[in-house]
Amino acid sequence: MSAGVKLEVAVGGGLTLRNPVLTASGTFGYGLEFEPYLDLNRLGGVVVKGISPRPRAGNPPPRLVETPSGMLNAIGLQNVGVDRFLEEKLPALRERGVATVVNVYGQCEEDLLHVVEKLAPESGVAAVELNLSCPNVKEGGLELGRSPRAIESITRDARAITRQPLWVKLTPNVSSIAETALAAEAGGADAVSLINTLVGMVIDVERRRPVLHRGSGGLSGPAIRPVAIAMVHQVYRAVKIPIVGMGGIVNARDVVEFLLAGARAVQVGTANFNDPGVAMRIVGDLAAWCAAHGIADVNELVGAVKGNQA
């Protein structure tokens, strides 16, 4: 019954995804770990764990704590580094044919551009997603992603060294996300993705210490969904480039909510930990939802929220 629904979405820079459901960076490994549980090719795409110029060990534990309807993490961007990613992970993903978005992380602008440059000649990179917003590393992304001027200049520099579609991932830890989105657009981004995690902290009151070794961490999960929806809605009215929305998606209903707010595609994050098969199920349920609601093309939903626009 849902076979006739058109799910393809164009997300800028000439990239069309077979459906709007991707998986979020840091919650899906390098994709291959999920093969026992789902068919990668049924997904709109996968966004791999943030890649840095050199491998990173990450933070000491505890790195995680559950919070009401969410979780807080301070992983510290543990990853294999760009060289091993290109040698081991990307070829396997290329072989699968799944749209692979490479999330790029750097502790400074040169680091970040170094990774973009290494990726530039590679085939099988559907898009590059610049993580300017990770709140987890003391010296890292937060400052960069908070400054519209820095966002515009680094996006422009990245744009100059790669032809691959370029996404800028926005942090919610700013006073105006419309402004940072506009800066990414001005710098030449093909799309913006939002939101990254919100800064949070949990204190163990008996020990009078933060639960996480690092102190604060990034909040994700359903708890942040209303914040993310409001921000997508705001950004949709500010920019012309496509929006990839995320924050607390656990089912197809949530995907529809993001699309109505203005997202062209979405990423499923924390929910992958709960159920490694969830992303594929959401794809099927989204098609069924559209069919049941007389929606022939999922693009009809994008930005279609009605009523007060404040």
Partner 1 sequence: MPYNLTAAVERQEDLGAGYHLLTLAAPEIAREIRAGQFVMIGLTDIDQMLIRRPFSVALVSPGPDGGEPASIGLLYKVIGRGTTLFSRLQPGDRLALLGPLGRGFWLPDPALEAGGGDETELLLVAGGIGNAIFPLLLQELGPRAARTTLFFGGRGRADLTLLDWFEAHAGRVVTATEDGSHGQRGFVTAPLAAHLDADPGRRRLVMACGPHAMLRAVAELCLARGVPCQVAMEETMACGFGVCLGCVVEKREPESDFDRFVRVCTEGPVFDAREIVL
Ligand X SMILES: Cc1cc2nc3c(=O)[nH]c(=O)nc-3n(C[C@H](O)[C@H](O)[C@H](O)COP(=O)(O)O)c2cc1C
Pattern 168-187, binding to ligand X, x per CB under 6 A?
Answer: -x------------------
Q: Site for ligand X (CB under 6 A): which residue of 59, 100, 103, 171?
A: 103
Q: Which does 272 bind (CB under 5 to 8 A by kind): ligand X, partner 1, none?
A: partner 1
Q: Is 73 in the site for ligand X (CB under 6 A)?
A: yes
CB of 62 to partner 1, least distance (A): 6
Greatest CA separation for the chain: 57
Choice from 187, 252, 269, 283 touching ligand X (CB under 6 A): 269
Check: CB of residue 101 under 8 Å from CB of residue 167: yes
What is the dihedral angle through the alpha carbons of 158, 161, 162, 167, rounded to the nearest 10 degrees?
A: 0
Assess contact for 231 and 172: CB atoms under 8 A: yes
Active-site entry in 134, 192, 219, 271:
134
Site string for ligand X, 273-302 (x = CB under 6 A): ------------------------------
221 binds partner 1 (CB under 8 A): yes
Query: Considering the complex, what minimum distance in angstroms separates the CB of residue 246 from ligand X?
Result: 4
Name the token pair of 224.
Answer: 């942040």
36-75 mask for partner 1 (x: CB under 8 A)?
Answer: xx----------------xxxxx-xxxxxxx--xxx-x-x
49 binds ligand X (CB under 6 A): yes
Per CB under 8 A, which region of 3-11, 153-161, 272-280, 287-295 contacts partner 1?
272-280
Measured between alpha carbons, how far is 191 from 154 in angstroms, rounded to an integer? Answer: 15
Q: Contacts with partner 1 in 274-303 (CB under 8 A)?
A: 274-277
CB-CB contact of 65 with 218 (8 Å) = no
Name the amino acid, one letter, at 234.
Q
Distance of CA 277 to the CA centre of its chain: 18
Token digits of residue 300: 């009809």
Q: Which residues contact residue 234 at a Cβ distance below 8 angstroms, ignoring those fewer than 6 apart? A: 177, 178
User: In the annotation, is 290 catalytic?
Assistant: no
Contact assessment for residue 204 and residue 211, using Cβ atoms and an 8 Å cutoff: yes
Provide, rounded to whole angstroms, the least separation between the CB of residue 63 and ligand X: 8
> Helix, strand or coil for residue 204?
strand
- Integer Cα distance of 103 and 125 in angstroms: 10
* Residues taking part in catalysis: 134
Binding site for partner 1 (CB under 8 A): 26-29, 33-34, 36-37, 54-58, 60-66, 69-71, 73, 75, 78, 81, 221-222, 250-251, 270-277
